[in-house]
Amino acid sequence: MTLNDLQRAALVLFAVREAGAGASVEQMKAICYCMRNRVKAGWHPDWLTAMEHAQETAGNLPGAPATIDVNDRAFQVLLHDIDDIYFSTAGNSKPMMEEGPGEQSGETMEEALKECKYWQFLGPGRPVNPWFTENIAGDHENHPCRAQMGLMMFFE
């Protein structure tokens, strides 16, 4: 096993747990893209360190840990697609980010999230981190909201 193998596996587990039970594969992938953007921006020297420090800038307070269901189709798809995200080779031409009912922006998820490093879930059962509200979501000039996926928001 190589360090790249370990980091890709850890990224899958991180995204599944962070997205929580019932999350879509798109939500899990979006978390992976945000983590990739953090690593590329030099926040941390490697993926494992970035994941270990992710709670420092989390949009939500920690909740009950999500369990991993290896038979879950979203989990299996993320496993299949993780190399493209990790190695920045995603050639996904399918538009992923919805603008309105039945409409799509024409951007791939990777394009829509290219500058995003933060995410936050809104809605019941996902307590909002007050620090995040004040310093990220509330700072529109430095951290604009660039995308939304259902009740999941993405910030620069």
Q: In the predicted model, what is the mean pLDDT of residues 111-136? A: 96
Which residues are CB-neighbours of 149 under 8 A, at least 6 positions away? Answer: 24, 26, 27, 30, 97, 98
Q: In the predicted model, what is the mean pLDDT of residues 28-35? A: 98
Q: Which residues partner with 119 through β-bridges? A: 154
Q: Provide φ and ψ at 28, rounded to 5°.
A: -65, -45
Residue 74 domain boundaries: 3-155
Percent of the chain with pLDDT over 70: 90
Please tell me the distance from the alpha carbon of residue 27 to that of residue 33, in angstroms, as a whole number: 10
Tally of domains in the chain: 1
Which residues are CB-neighbours of 31 under 8 A, at least 6 positions away? Answer: 14, 15, 18, 19, 119
Q: In the predicted model, what is the mean pLDDT of residues 29-57? A: 97
pTM: 0.90
